[in-house]
């Protein structure tokens, strides 16, 4: 059976409360059509609602590719973990996601990009999480902000652990049920190829994280 579907049909597969991973780097490789379809479905149906999104690198820019802003609607987006967020000149209108963060309308975390990629790899391997020294004594350390960007981000995502006589940060794996990846070509079985893409952007790890856990 062919796995080829439209952007609207793909958006229809996302259920309330799901964890959705998005492969992108600002405007590069951004699956904007599918993100737009999710936002349009929410406007029409009120679903999906209360989803969590994972973005190792920002999805979208401030120059016409909306990316995460398609999802920046109260009720649709409950929580987001991003390695970066869309940015641009201060003279431009701020992205809607920044307004939601400032209003505490979404639980927002800023997780180091490498750690977010590692979290996908660990989820793909069905391992519990990432043990790392990256982020010790920085904003990522739970003794400081624990990656939280606002008061709504009250659920801890990182803890300090002692291992082999040393101090580490431990980030629990977050398993995506859906990964949204832009590629150059796809076949009817769902295989993707990147002939004309600028970078892989962690697409393999994101695909495996969802696929190996039933997504």
Quickly tell me which residue has 């080829």 as its tokens: 4
Q: What is the CATH number of the domain that holds 205?
A: 3.40.1080.10
Mean pLDDT of the chain: 95
Count structural domains, the chain: 1
Q: Cα–Cα distance between 89 and 82 in angstroms, integer?
A: 20
pLDDT tens for residues 47-100?
A: 999 999 999 999 998 788 999 999 999 999 999 999 999 987 777 788 999 999
pLDDT tens for residues 123-174?
A: 999 999 999 999 999 999 999 999 999 999 999 999 999 999 999 999 999 9
**Residue 96 located in a structural domain:** yes
Cα 50 to chain centroid distance, Å, stands at: 14
- pLDDT attached to residue 146: 98
Which residue from 114, 88, 97 is spatially nearest to 169, judged by alpha carbons?
A: 114
**Residue 148 located in a structural domain:** yes
**Residue 84 located in a structural domain:** yes
Q: How far is CA 17 from CA 20, 65, 76, in A?
A: 9, 25, 9
pLDDT tens for residues 175-201?
A: 999 999 999 999 999 899 999 998 899
- pLDDT attached to residue 64: 84
**Residue 200 located in a structural domain:** yes
Give the tokens for residue 72. Answer: 């920046």
**Residue 180 located in a structural domain:** yes
Give percent above pLDDT 70 in the chain.
Answer: 100
**Residue 1 located in a structural domain:** no
**Residue 66 located in a structural domain:** yes
What is the residue range of 200's domain? 7-211
**Residue 2 located in a structural domain:** no
């Amino acid at each position: 059976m062919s796995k080829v579907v439209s952007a609207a049909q793909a958006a229809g597969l996302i259920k309330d409360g799901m964890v959705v991973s998005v492969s992108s780097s600002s405007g590069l490789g951004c699956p904007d059509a599918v993100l737009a379809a999710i936002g349009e479905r929410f406007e029409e149906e009120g679903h999906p609602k209360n989803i969590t999104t994972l973005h190792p690198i920002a999805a979208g820019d401030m120059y016409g590719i909306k990316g995460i802003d398609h999802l920046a609607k109260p009720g649709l987006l409950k929580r987001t973990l991003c390695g970066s967020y869309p940015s641009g000149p201060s003279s431009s209108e701020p992205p809607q996601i920044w307004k939601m963060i400032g209003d505490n309308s979404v639980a927002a975390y800023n997780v180091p990009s490498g750690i977010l990629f590692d979290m996908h790899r660990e989820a793909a391997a069905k391992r519990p999480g990432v043990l790392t020294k990256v982020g010790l004594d920085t904003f990522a350390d739970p003794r400081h902000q624990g990656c939280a960007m606002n008061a709504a981000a009250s659920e801890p995502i990182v803890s300090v652990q002692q291992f082999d006589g040393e101090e580490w940060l431990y980030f629990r794996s977050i398993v995506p049920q859906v990964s949204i990846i832009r590629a150059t070509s796809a076949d009817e079985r769902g295989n993707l190829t990147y002939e004309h893409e600028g970078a892989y952007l962690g697409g393999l790890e994101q695909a495996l994280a969802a696929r190996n856990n039933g997504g």
